[in-house]
Amino acid sequence: MHISEGILSGAVLASGAALAVVGTGIGLKRLDADRIARSGILSACFFVASLIHVPIGPSSVHLIFNGVLGLLLGWAAFPAILVALILQAVFFQFGGITTLGVNTVVMALPAVICYFLFKNFMDKSPAWALPAAFAVGALSVLLSGIIVGLALMMTEEKFFEVTALVIGAHIPVMIIEGIVTCFLVAFLKKVQPDMLPGRRKTSG
């Protein structure tokens, strides 16, 4: 869901950069030594998953897994996603340097929102945890699409049709990521439940 360079207005780019700086700052502050390795691994997963993409106008369709990053990292999803986006922009010209802030917000902000919405369901029974996990995977993609749309429409109103196309094209991605997140949460609940957030843990 990268936004290419040369599309967004200067005001939108500046706003995105400011939000990305704030989010990354909070994420780095919350990133303790015990989670650095986890953040690196998840950042690499995000990097690889979003390499396979299909261009759609000024954006693209691809797997994101930002919901998984948000669920397991909380605020630390911001620096993890930022690092992956920098590498993609430098090595593969996905997105771009000027749109780095906006693209970071597009993918990291929904991750953090879903973390706070659903973290307290993860330590409950599967009847609660698994539907919540599906919602994390699907809703994070939907929110990313909405933020892409807002960024495009704040630049030019005629981008409304493109926005609808981008969100519509991501419906299969929402379903896939919801299912994958369900399987991941079910697996972690069995083998390493401490990786999942819950009421007894401090916020990310």
Confidence of residue 165 (pLDDT cuts 50, 70, 90): confident
Highest mean pLDDT: which range of 87-91, 102-106, 165-169? 102-106
- With 80 as the cut, is the pLDDT of residue 181 above it? yes
Instruction: Measure the CA–CA gap between 113 and 107, rounded to whole angstroms.
Output: 11
Instruction: Measure the CA–CA gap between 68 and 63, rounded to whole angstroms.
Output: 11
Nearest CA-CA partner of 165 in 181, 148, 179, 180:
148
Per-residue pLDDT, 61: 64
Per-residue pLDDT, 202: 46
Quote the percentage of the chain above a pLDDT of 70.
88
Task: Please check whether residue 121 is in contact with residue 35, taking contact to mean a CB–CB distance below 8 angstroms.
Answer: no
Q: Is the dihedral of CA 180, 128, 43, 51 positive or negative?
A: positive
CATH number of 10-195: 1.10.1760.20
**Residue 169 CA neighbour count, 13 Å, CB half:** 20
Task: Please check whether residue 180 is in contact with residue 137, taking contact to mean a CB–CB distance below 8 angstroms.
Answer: yes
- List Cα–Cα distances, 84 to 26, 107, 152, 164, in angstroms: 18, 11, 23, 26
Per-residue pLDDT, 56: 58
- DSSP lists the bridge partners of residue 62 as 53
Question: What's the pLDDT tens digit per position in 34-62?
Answer: 789 889 999 998 888 777 666 655 555 67
Per-residue pLDDT, 1: 67
Per-residue pLDDT, 158: 67
Residue predicted with more confidence, 8 or 57: 8
Question: What's the pLDDT tens digit per position in 133-158?
Answer: 999 999 999 999 889 888 888 887 66
- List Cα–Cα distances, 162 to 9, 10, 150, in angstroms: 16, 20, 11
Please tell me the pTM assigned to this model: 0.86
Residue predicted with more confidence, 198 or 49: 49
Instruction: Measure the CA–CA gap between 119 and 132, rounded to whole angstroms.
Output: 9
Instruction: Measure the CA–CA gap between 151 and 142, rounded to whole angstroms.
Output: 14
Domain ranges of the chain: 10-195
Quote the percentage of the chain above a pLDDT of 90.
51
Question: Helix (H, G, I), strand (E, B), or coil: what is residue 51?
Answer: coil
